[in-house]
A = this chain, B = another copy of it.
Amino acid sequence: MMKSIVSSKYLACLVGSIILNLLFIINIYVGGQWKLSWSLGAAIEAETVAAIYCSGHGRAYLDGLVVVGNKPICDCNTCFTGPDCSQFIPHCTANADGFTSNKRSLDPEYLTARTLPSDQLRDPPHLASSALVVAGWHQMSYTYGGKSFFSKELAKVVRKVHASVGNAVTQNRFIIFGAGSTQVLSAAVFALSPENTSSPAKVVTSVPYYPLDKQQTQYFSSQKFKYEGDAYRWKNRSDCSSTNMIEIVTSPNNPDGQLKKAIFHGANVKTIYDHAYYWPHFTPIPAPSDEDVMVFTLSKLTGHAGTRLGWAVIKDETVFNRMMMHMRMNSMGVSKDAQLRAFKLLNAVLEEGTGIFDFAYQTMKSRWERLVQTVSLSNRFSLQENNPQYCTFYNKVRQLSPAYAWLKCEREEDKDCYAVLEAGNIIGRQGNLFGAEDGYVRLSLVRTQDDFDILIERLHKLITEEDGDKTM
């Protein structure tokens, strides 16, 4: 009897142990094929760093700063500090701009895209589909299969994403990649410039414009092209009918989020459509865009600005070949690690169906609701109109939900709107950088939730103190 009890206990233990083994086997051999070997150490390392606690106000990174020992420290959001980012810095400035240095006017777009789809990619259910494991010997050569700098598989996924969103025609079009839309835009300007000419092509943008277009064109200006300022200034001028013109159209526009159209048309005109923000989280999609040169970027789609991966969809083969030459001369192609990351992330976007766009749109919508509600209490400030349009992606009429607020200071005495906000502890970006008046300031709404919350709080304080100011 005793023995029988003992052996049945053994049996129970054995069965338990075997079940445990089976669980381990399932865990290790998922897919029925594989036992981790070379990737295990790196996987443990990555998960260990990912699990470092930063109170929801920061993140630790594999290549993050190491202060003592080997463990990277938390990289805290603005206004948070401490080893685990748990301490709020009471009177800190709301950052609705990006880079805060003395040279701000030269620094575009830093840090703007830390949220949106990215936030969803951080959530556990999406973490797995967006994770990436790279072997030491992965894609070491300059080209794919000795042929091209650019991954054919990545181009396939890009086409699928456009098809699923319906924001661009990609059939019978060429696709080229670059280090963010920044490098792609520059490649397009070089490629569209006349090859042998005595007078450089005039590059124009209509006010308010994206500052980098101006800065970059001026920086690279040569006998091939020259930046010539606001497009409206050249409209209807007879000396333009025979000059080579290149118009860069940012649509939706940065800073004001409006869907913009080209001003110039004709045989001597080339147009580059910067569609960085032409995704359902920022704008209704009235129809798939079908322009000659359309530029997109991962940073405004999934939020991965640091990956530096942009692309152009191009109709004309000669333009495509010239852009290829630019990419070779400039940087011998584009990082294959960036291409692999984009491949993985865009596949994760596709797997989610409309999920990532829904999440991002809801985030932008609710941020706009809070912003509009806050500013509606003010007589001092106003926002751009985000008029509704029909969106083919959502099959309904909906408002724009731009990445930036284009805030106007309405009072006569508030000519320097940037200074007004700065006094209220808010850093935006001056209107004059966009070719507009300084009565305007651009506020970024695509930073971390922490940044947005602090922005609303500071704006609210400014607005509730308005009447007090007036009577003083």
Interface size class of A (residues with CB under 8 A): 35 or more
**Interfacial chain B residues near A186, Cβ < 8 Å:** 330
Q: How many copies does the complex hold?
A: 2
Chain B, Cβ-Cβ closest to A182: B332
A132 CB–B CB distance under 8 Å: yes
Given A7-B6, A38-B131, A50-B135: A341 touches B337 (CB 8 Å cut-off): yes
Chain B, Cβ-Cβ closest to A183: B331
User: Which of B25, B45, B113, B146 is the one whose CB lies under 8 Å from A110?
Assistant: B146
Minimum Cβ distance to chain B for residue A292 (Å): 23
Contact mask for chain A residues 68-109; partner B; CB cutoff 8 A; 1 contact, 0 none = 000000010010000000000000000000111000001111
Given A38-B127, A133-B133: A343 touches B154 (CB 8 Å cut-off): no
Instruction: Please determine whether A339 and B135 come into contact, CB atoms closer than 8 angstroms.
Output: no
Across the A-B interface, give the 10 residue pairs with the lowest CB-CB distance, nearest first.
Answer: A130-B136, A46-B133, A179-B331, A24-B24, A306-B336, A7-B7, A10-B10, A17-B17, A337-B337, A38-B127
Instruction: Please determine whether B339 and A338 come into contact, CB atoms closer than 8 angstroms.
Output: no
Instruction: Please determine whether B42 and A330 come into contact, CB atoms closer than 8 angstroms.
Output: no
Minimum Cβ distance to chain B for residue A332 (Å): 4
A377 CB–B CB distance under 8 Å: no
Task: From A25, A330, A332, A341, name the one whose CB has the most chain B CB atoms within 10 angstroms.
Answer: A332
A257 CB–B CB distance under 8 Å: no
Instruction: Please determine whether B222 and A221 come into contact, CB atoms closer than 8 angstroms.
Output: yes
A472 CB–B CB distance under 8 Å: no
**Interfacial chain B residues near A144, Cβ < 8 Å:** 64-65, 75
**Interfacial chain B residues near A135, Cβ < 8 Å:** 46, 50, 127, 130-131
**Interfacial chain B residues near A20, Cβ < 8 Å:** 17, 21
A303 CB–B CB distance under 8 Å: yes
Whole-angstrom CA separation of A124 from B38 in the bound complex: 7
Given A43-B133, A215-B329: A337 touches B307 (CB 8 Å cut-off): yes
Given A134-B134, A143-B111, A338-B338: A7 touches B14 (CB 8 Å cut-off): no
